Amino acid sequence: MTRSRRVTESRIEEYWDWIAVALFLLLAVDLLTTLAAARVVGRGAEGNPLMRWLLGRPTLVVVGAHLVVVVLVTGFFRLLVGRLRRTPSPADRYFALLIEVWLGVLVAVGLAVFANNLAVIVLGRSLL
C-alpha cells in the first residue's frame, strides 16, 4: 500500500468518527433538547416542520424516524467513502477535502441547533 493510500485510509477512519459525531448532535442531542424545549414553549414553536409534525406522534414513531435517518445517512456515507477510495490521485485529495468541509459544516450546524435548543430551554426563546 502506498503512503498516500495509507493516509487516505486513516482519514476515512476519522471521517466515520466525524459522521458519528454529526449524527449524534443532529439526531440524538437535537431530539432530546427539542423534546425539552417543546415542554417549555410548546411543540408549535418548533421551526422544523417535519420535527413539528413528529412531535405530535407517539414516541416510538419519533425514535423510529430518527433511526431510519441514521440508517440512510450511514448507507449514503458508506457509498461516498467507497467513491473516495476509487477516486484516483490527485483528485482524491480534493474530494477528501470536500468531505472534510461537509463534515465540519454538519458538526457546526449540530452545535448551533444544540445551542438554540438550549437557549429555548433556559431562556424560553430561540436565538434565531
Return the DSSP state at 88.
P
Q: How far apart are CA 78 and CA 82, in angstroms?
A: 6
User: Which pLDDT value is given to residue 4?
Assistant: 57
- Our CA angle for 24, 82, 97, nearest 5°, is 70
Instruction: Give 73's contacts (C-beta < 8 A, 6+ positions apart).
Output: 19, 23
Contact 31, 62 (CB under 8 A): yes
* Mean pLDDT score, 12-22: 96
Q: 58: buried, middle or exposed (CB in 10 Å: 19+, 13-18, 0-12)?
A: exposed
What is the pTM assigned to this prediction?
0.87
Contact 103, 15 (CB under 8 A): yes
H-only helix segments in the chain: 3-23, 30-41, 49-55, 59-86, 91-123
C-alpha cell at 128: 434565531
pLDDT digits (tens, 9 = 90+) for 64-119: 999 999 999 999 999 999 999 999 988 999 999 999 999 999 999 999 999 999 99
